Amino acid sequence: MKQSNLADIFKALSNPQRLALFELIYRGFEKRGKPGSAEEDEPCCRGVEKAFTFACGCLKISRSTISHHLKELQNAGLIVCVRRGQSHYCEVNAKAVEAVRGFLK
């Protein structure tokens, strides 16, 4: 991964609220079920709604601010958001996380 891409990732994570939101999505990503299990098809973090609920309640920020932070995380390549029906789901981009880990070693 190029240094400019890594800089974008670190810039996105430099905001404390965005970092907390990313951590929530990441922790859901870590707990994802094994291939073939019932949990495998579960969207990480049960989607954006869980992230919205967490952030609104715990971080005391508005839904529009959360939307902005999710867009910044997506633009940096840290998360991938997909739409299924009327719901949006976010997952961690594992390649981006591995690139950061590799850089920090």
Residues 49-104 pLDDT 10s:
565 666 677 667 888 888 899 999 999 999 998 877 777 778 899 999 999 999 99
CA angle 73, 79, 84 (to 5 degrees): 120
Confidence tier at 43 by pLDDT (50, 70, 90) = very low
Domain count, the chain: 1
pLDDT for 53 equals 66
pLDDT for 21 equals 87
- Classify 85 in phi/psi space as left (phi over 0), alpha (psi -120 to 50) or beta: left
Residue 33's domain comprises: 3-104
Two tokens, residue 50: 């869980």
| Nearest by Cα to 74 from 88, 54, 59, 57 | 88
> What CATH number has the domain bearing residue 84?
1.10.10.10
Lowest pLDDT segment from 5-19, 33-47, 49-63, 79-93: 33-47
